[in-house]
A and B are shown apart, each in its own frame.
Chain A
Amino acid sequence: MTTTTGMPDFDEHVAYQPLVGTGRRGDQVFSGLARGSGILVVALVAAVGAFLLIEAIPALLKNRANFLFDRVWDLDDPAAPKFGIPDLLWATVAIAMIAMAIAVPLAIGVALFLTNYAPTRVARPFAYVVDLLAAVPSIIYGLWGIKVLLPYSRDVQGFLSSTLGWIPLFKDAGVSQGTLFLAGVVLAIMILPIVTAISREVFAQTPPAHKEGALALGATRWEMIRTAVLPYGRAGVISAAMLGLGRALGETIAITIIVSQVAGFNFSIFNGGQTFASKIANNAAEFDSPTKTGAFIAAGLVLFVLTFVVNAVARIVIERRKAFTE
């Protein structure tokens, strides 16, 4: 029934379909292929985790620094590499949070517009336009961000750091090229379509009886949305946001293009930096010794675990909502 949110309903055909077939050879081969493909998918995900772990462990054992807490990345001596992830984690989380802070409210607005405000004739093509945003490759967002949006973002950053500069988060870091802030803004545009698509689906599923009931009691349109549509869609919107977050954490090329690499570290979003993904992408040419490769793969493993957890939580929220509404 749904594309992105739907966990299938396994009991749908159970009553009237032969599950095992007739035992003829064609049936055996065909069901074997189907089952095999399913198992292959499970095995693939397991293999991703296993291979990354196998490659990362030797490098992690040689690591002279604390992987989770030391802010160093020095792989020049293959016998005694020092690498830690807190800088990467900060940049990744900061960009993702900026993107979420902009994209989620905007996406809820767009989804409400498409389901409750726009006339149906207009809503269809507009929904299509938002879907097209999702089709634009991320390298083009990156290119556009650094070549076109950068001057505008400088103005906004100048304004924010002069008014809110006393908060460390908004302190001017003296970076004139791409910052975490700019990357967050571009990423917000990139995850907007996903969050919008799923929110739109759940808002559209609000039972008409709830909406008409609210309107019949004299509610204005906004009151109807606040009392009927939003409570119904809350779990769906949360999981949509989580899926957007998963996408934001793993985005590579747009961030690699936009965010400038800087030496100094501080907690300002107007600073440069590197995320897990951009660190790996920036150093793809350096995969020459097992230890070096292992260090980057260890960073990739952390990213894999992060996105796995975020996506799994999103799916569980959808599942529970489904169980609740049915």
Chain B
Amino acid sequence: MTSIAAAGATPLIGPSIERPSRAREIRNAIPTDLIWTSFFAAVVPLVWILYTVITKGLSLLLSSTWWLESQRGITVRHVGGGAYHAIVGTLLQATVTALISVPIAIFTAVYLVEYGRGRLARAVSFMVDILTGIPSIVAALFIYALWVTTLGLDRAGFSVSLALVLLMLPVVVRSTEEMLRLVPNELREASYALGVPKWKTISRVVIPTAFSGIVTGVLLGLARVIGETAPLLILGPYTKEINFNLFSGNMAALPTMINWDRTQSLQPAVDRTWAAALTLILLVLLLNIAGRVIARFSRV
């Protein structure tokens, strides 16, 4: 009897909702602090790296010679010259990589979304995942075995591009695939209802709708491969001279330019290393930001 009266005396709302006990509050507070700390621990390296590269590399980038001249005839003791040869090489190789990998990647994504069913589609999807995980040095060794050992050709800018294709393909396939899946089915159905054949529906309705997303994927893919160094070490020996020919002669690229001078201790070489690093970072960030801006302003 008394217990019922006591229970009745306590209102059901308000005071009966207790704060967690002291021990539970502490057990809540510790992980909370750790999680906040972990976030700042993750941001510190990024800021630190950007700060280092900018402070050490900026001065050379401000002069026009950096963008207009090569390193021809300039030794580690000399100040001067620019990164034109390496920028040209990097951009040429990246363009060829994109020209080869983008059509294959888009058709693969179209296959996975619009055509693929059953075993083959599963195999393709799995292999795209495996390709995502292939180390760049393994891709480079594969192209070396194909290009140099089997076909007997010389190492050249084009062989670097072939290795980069392997690394860029999965990135573009996955992002294109995702974009194609976002295209509403009503659009496809409306097109079929008008008697438009399937291939025209895909090429005139589905792909244009997803276009900006596909461009974003391509830019992010390019940003990934442009900084790859391992394929260049195996397939693209460095040169200090300008070379526009992708099929013969050594061709410089920004990563190999960094790699060339990085062990030197003389100041001109050290400055050039950091300046080349900053140029590379700027290029990658530009592609990244462009990709994300396009994605942001034109959602499917």
Contacts and interface: CB of A to CB of B under 8 A. Distances in A.
Interface stretch (A80-88, A161-169, A307-315): A307-315
Interface stretch (B2-10, B81-89, B91-99, B166-174): B166-174
Interface in B89-126: 103-105, 107-108, 110-118, 120-126
B141 A297 contact: yes
B39 A110 contact: yes
Given A10-B121, A117-B32, A130 B27 contact: no
B76 interface: no
Interface in A164-189: 189
Given A13-B185, A34-B110, A139-B227, A8 B177 contact: yes
A222 B121 contact: no
Interface in A24-79: 24, 26-27, 29-31, 33-42, 44-45, 47-48, 51-52, 54-55
A91 B17 CA distance: 56
Contacts of B285: 132, 135
B243 interface: no
B35 A112 contact: yes
Interface in A264-308: 277, 280-281, 284, 287, 290, 293, 296-297, 300, 303-304, 307-308
Contacts of B123: 42
Contacts of A192: 42
A237 to B, nearest CB: 14
Contacts of A26: 197, 199-200
B288 A27 contact: no
Given A30-B203, A110-B42, A136-B49, A55 B135 contact: no
Q: Is the interface of B mostly helix, strand, loop or mixed?
A: helix
A261 interface: no
Interface in A81-121: 105-110, 112-114, 117-118
Contact of B117 (A14, A117, A135): A14
A117 B35 CA distance: 8
B141 to A, nearest CB: 4
A156 interface: no
B175 interface: yes
Interface in B209-259: 223-224, 226-230, 233-234, 255, 258-259
Interface residues of A, number: 106
Nearest to A36: B107
B134 A307 contact: yes
A304 B142 CA distance: 10
B4 to A, nearest CB: 24
B152 interface: no
Nearest to B122: A10
Interface magnitude class on chain B: 35 or more
B273 interface: yes
A148 B270 CA distance: 13
A189 B145 CA distance: 32
A247 interface: yes
B38 interface: yes
A114 B126 CA distance: 29
B46 A133 contact: yes
B13 interface: no
Contact of A17 (B104, B142, B188, B200): B188
Nearest to A102: B41
A157 interface: no
A117 B169 CA distance: 36
A19 to B, nearest CB: 7
Contacts of B262: 143, 257
Interface of A: 1-4, 6-8, 10, 12-14, 16-19, 21-22, 24, 26-27, 29-31, 33-42, 44-45, 47-48, 51-52, 54-55, 105-110, 112-114, 117-118, 126, 128-130, 132-133, 135-141, 143-144, 147-148, 189, 192, 196, 218, 220-223, 225, 243, 246-247, 249-253, 256-257, 277, 280-281, 284, 287, 290, 293, 296-297, 300, 303-304, 307-308, 310-312, 315
25 contacts: A12-B181, A19-B117, A24-B199, A26-B200, A27-B199, A37-B105, A38-B116, A39-B120, A41-B124, A41-B169, A41-B173, A45-B131, A47-B142, A51-B142, A136-B281, A137-B228, A137-B255, A137-B284, A138-B228, A148-B48, A189-B45, A222-B32, A250-B137, A281-B234, A307-B134
Given A135-B288, A280-B141, 14 more contacts: A7-B125, A16-B185, A27-B197, A37-B111, A40-B108, A41-B108, A109-B35, A140-B53, A143-B273, A223-B28, A252-B229, A257-B262, A303-B137, A310-B133
